[in-house]
Amino acid sequence: MKSSTVDAMDVDHHHLKSFGVLMKMKNIRVFDLTVLSLLFVCLFYIFLISPSSYDNPFFPLKKYSQCPSTPSTIMQNTSNDQHNTSSYQHNTSSDQHHTSSYRDELEEVLAKTATEKKTLIIAVLNKAYVEGDKSMLDLFLDSFWLGENTQALRDHLLIVAVDQTSYERCRFLRLHCYKLETEGVDFAGEQIFMSRDYLKMMWRRTEFLGDVLKRGYNFIFTDTDIMWLRNPFSKLDNSFDLQISTDKFNGNERSKANRINAGFYVFRSNKKTIALYNSWLASKENSTGLNEQDVLQRLLKQPNLGLSVRYLDTLYFNGFCQNSREVRAVVTVHANCCTTIGAKLVDLTTVLRDWKRFKKNSTNETFTFDWSDRVACRRPSKG
């Protein structure tokens, strides 16, 4: 009995000894793993915060250069880094415009939006044009979708937003967007025609477009209350410095008597058009009671203007002021001669509905088409 008790004690002692060895080995392994883990964390942390980590394959962060402290340093750095986001400078006193080698935010978005020939489409809008279940911007973009050969043009459309709401809406729609800052002015609400804020916004828009022109970009400017039913480039003539739409066309595309509409125009970038823009902006201070369109009309009527101007036929570049019944020729439809956004939305919705009806039946030779009446815009505005 005593012997069996001793044997049992020896076995227990052996088991305890083996268990102790196992526990010691386990502790060593845990300690080793802990040390290795801490070492890995330290190395990983050093890897992230080191200067070379910007180029690591796991976190390919964009590499930013440090801001230089002097103007001369800025110019030296931009010759080596074409993506430097320094501020843009240009010399407006010289007829020969010089575009700086570096890019700012505007230059970046212009380069992304424009074609290889540096041509783009520009629209300027505010909060009032993006609000509602079906906003003016929505209708405008719908026309690019529904138009003939217009879908690809959206890739070259730049939306210039004058307030935060319209800018955010633009970004949400994944368009090319640029926020135009105007210190101390709120352009968010609907700007009543010829009101003080309306005139400020129109002149700010003109100033911005002049800046685009001076950077060497050709552009089509379009209001967003214009429906693009066909690609307009087939009806435009690149030999002209300026092509501009009209409220009422008198039959002569070179006649200065045509009443212009600055809701749609095409500018080529050259010394002559830049000089016109400079004169246009300089005339702002002597234009009491006139909007930017009136001032441009006055400038275009001057003799020896020095640039070629084409006034666009309303048969193709149509509007509510002079309605074209020839749907097979119409390129754009503008809600001009209409003062409120609400009325424009109603009648432009009808325009797109008519357009879809035409497209559905266009192959039917017996089909007769006529535009629906512009009921909302014909009503007198309140107030």
Check pLDDT > 90 for residue 232: yes
Check pLDDT > 60 for residue 126: yes
Average pLDDT over residues 145-150: 97
Distances 16 to 10, 11, 21, 113 between C-alpha atoms, Å: 10, 9, 9, 78
Convert the pLDDT of each residue in 19-51 to its tens digit. Answer: 454 455 545 454 555 555 666 655 554 444 443
pLDDT of residue 41: 53
> Quick one: which of 3, 223, 231, 226 has its CA closest to 125?
223
Per the confidence metrics, is the pTM higher than 0.85? no
252 neighbors 153 (Cβ within 8 angstroms): no
Check pLDDT > 90 for residue 62: no
Check pLDDT > 70 for residue 156: yes
DSSP 312: P
pLDDT of residue 235: 97
182 neighbors 191 (Cβ within 8 angstroms): no
Q: Selecting from 1.10.150.80, 3.30.70.20, 3.40.50.1700, 3.90.550.10, what CATH number does the domain 105-362+369-378 have?
A: 3.90.550.10
Domain boundaries, the chain: 7-54, 105-362+369-378
Confidence band, pLDDT 50/70/90 cuts, at residue 160: very high
Average pLDDT taken over every residue of the chain: 77
